[in-house]
Chains A and B, each alone.
Chain A
Amino acid sequence: MYAMLFESVSKRFVMGHDRARSFQDLMLRTLRPGSHTPREILWALKDVSFMIERGEAVAIVGRNGSGKSTCLKLMTRILTPTQGSVDIQGRVAGLLELGAGFHPELTGRENIYLNGALMGLSRREIAHRFDEIVAFAELERFVDAQVKFYSSGMTMRLGFSIAICVNPDILLIDEVLAVGDQSFQEKCLERIEQVRANGVTIIFVSHALETVRALCERVIWLDQGQLREDGACDVVVDDYVAAVHAHEEVAVE
């Protein structure tokens, strides 16, 4: 049984600077038709197919802008594919990019309830897990402080803690661990290992290749939106490192 199935998925973005962003802008553009620039289209993902089995730990690697975050957003249904189809089996939770979805004016406690509700938990379920979430994030002293007074590491701790405590079937992590201090990073990795052992599917985006090697058995390498390689962790990471070095050498020359 699979957890995630991508079938020839493509995602197209229309670059923002070519479009009127306000009515004022729209009016100016209609008045001066000569100023029209052709729409610039960007394929963030192009014809990407893969299947992730239930319980697998998969990393996605690739250079900046290669489409990793876009991939994860498709996995949560935040984005919908332009072409192809994405099939998700199970509850997805995760941390997408830096800055969890917190409201700075609300307290940690209020944000936990808000985030839990966004993820589809009932009040009772959140109340049930509340202490666990706070304890894991080690933020007991700060739950009733507004999140705007949190450090970025503390915000990330809380976000990670919520994501992992809602018992998802599929856990997505996009680069966020880097903000945590050493001890919290280790604690997170330990916890990820633990939920993995319980059969949770892990999809991990990181530029920290050592962590990727430690955590995942399979790696998907994206290159300019295309799937370059998909296979055993050591093989793909080695190829990826080699390609990055080759690229650097070309750049130096």
Chain B
Amino acid sequence: MRGLLLERSDQQRTATTLFDRVAEVIHRRELLGVLVSRDLKLRYKNSVLGFLWSLINPLLLMIVFTIVFTIMIPDLHVPNFPVFVLCGVLPWNFFSTAIISSIPSISGNGHLIKKVYFPLEVLPLSTLLAHLVNFLLAFIVLIGMIVAFGIPLTVNLLWLPLVILTQLLFTGGVALVLSTTNVFYRDTGVIMEVLMQAWFFLTPVFYPLELLPEMTVVRGIELPVQRMVYILNPMASIIASYRAILYGSTLGSPPHAPALDFFARTLVTAALAFIVGLWIFNRYRERFAEEV
């Protein structure tokens, strides 16, 4: 009873600083867990087949790209192409499906938001975490592929949690912003579907970054294309990190640790994206219950 009372007074506080918001979400992690399992239940209807079904898409993409780039356009010369592609497609699918399904996470949960007070951040974040579960399960397939192609599993796998954390922070930031936007502009999802498609082609998912020219001259201006992709597109750096630790390089060298300065920059960018996401979400959160 005593504990319950303490918890109550603690819930009373209207948290406003970003630090308080994060603390409140962590405090309600049990709710986060319930929402994640609700998400998974609704998606898979409690069936194993449902999960297997979600693997079809990345595997199909892998097969298609392998056929295109090893048989139809065979001069790409990327060793172990299926593994190379899967290392890009799985994180990308995680990113894009998590974003697309978190967009309506506020606007589609009006029935909850108008009923009880709870930290609304848990809605987009639980969608993200549900997709993480999916991603981690799909990883089993990737590891199987890596072994099947004779690529060594090295100690660099220890980087994996950190790379996944980076991706979570970046995806979380984008999800927080877009779920906020969708409350006010309900066609955010439609627009993002199109933008995601473009983003996919601008990210080295199915082609190696080295394929791009280092420099291009557009209307007299010199553009460092390769560096720009990394700087402007955190997903490019994140996928490059996955490839470094799981696949190695396209020249055939074994998996290696990502360059430290490169990875640190990616992590900082992702963390900044998350903070900006939290800030924007927090700025509009009080109006959500009025608009949904």
CB-CB contacts below 8 Å: B278-292 with A: 286, 289-291
- Closest B residue to A75 using CB positions: B117
CB-CB contacts below 8 Å: A77-132 with B: 77-80, 88-93, 96-97, 99-103, 105-106, 110, 113-115, 117-120, 122-123
> Is the CB of B42 closer than 8 A to any CB of chain A?
yes
* Majority DSSP secondary structure for residues of A touching B: loop
B47 CB to closest chain A CB (Å) equals 14
A113 to B187 CA separation, bound complex (whole angstroms): 32
Inter-subunit contact A21/B185 (CB<8 Å): yes
Q: How would residues 1 to 41 of chain B score, 1 for a CB under 8 Å from any chain A CB and 0 otherwise?
A: 00000011001101000000000000010110111001001
Inter-subunit contact A23/B191 (CB<8 Å): yes
Q: Which residues of A contact B116 (CB under 8 A)?
A: 76, 78, 93, 101, 115, 118-119
Inter-subunit contact A103/B187 (CB<8 Å): no
A96 to B187 CA separation, bound complex (whole angstroms): 29
CB-CB contacts below 8 Å: A1-32 with B: 13, 16, 19-26
A99 to B110 CA separation, bound complex (whole angstroms): 11
* Majority DSSP secondary structure for residues of B touching A: helix
B261 CB to closest chain A CB (Å) equals 38
Inter-subunit contact A73/B185 (CB<8 Å): no
Inter-subunit contact B8/A80 (CB<8 Å): no
Instruction: Report, as a range, how many residues of chain B touch the other chain.
Output: 20 to 34
A13 to B290 CA separation, bound complex (whole angstroms): 8
- Indicate which residue in A19, A21, A80, A117 contacts B34 across the interface (CB closer than 8 Å): A117
Inter-subunit contact B7/A120 (CB<8 Å): yes
A121 to B35 CA separation, bound complex (whole angstroms): 14
B5 CB to closest chain A CB (Å) equals 9
A113 to B33 CA separation, bound complex (whole angstroms): 11
B213 CB to closest chain A CB (Å) equals 34
Decide yes or no: A91 and B111 within 8 Å by CB, A21-B185, A24-B187, A122-B30 being known contacts. no
Instruction: Report, as a range, how many residues of chain A touch the other chain.
Output: 35 or more
> Is the CB of B186 closer than 8 A to any CB of chain A?
yes
- Indicate which residue in A73, A89, A117 contacts B114 across the interface (CB closer than 8 Å): A73
Q: Which residues of A contact B42 (CB under 8 A)?
A: 103, 105-106
Q: Which residues of A contact B191 (CB under 8 A)?
A: 23
**Measuring CB to CB, which residues of chain B are less than 8 angstroms from any residue of chain A?**
7-8, 11-12, 14, 28, 30-31, 33-35, 38, 41-42, 111-118, 184-188, 191, 286, 289-291
Q: Beyond A78-B113, A117-B31, A120-B31: 9 further Cβ-contacts under 8 Å?
A: A21-B185, A23-B188, A73-B289, A78-B116, A90-B8, A91-B8, A117-B33, A118-B115, A120-B118
**Measuring CB to CB, which residues of chain A are less than 8 angstroms from any residue of chain B?**
13, 16, 19-26, 73, 76-80, 88-93, 96-97, 99-103, 105-106, 110, 113-115, 117-120, 122-123, 169
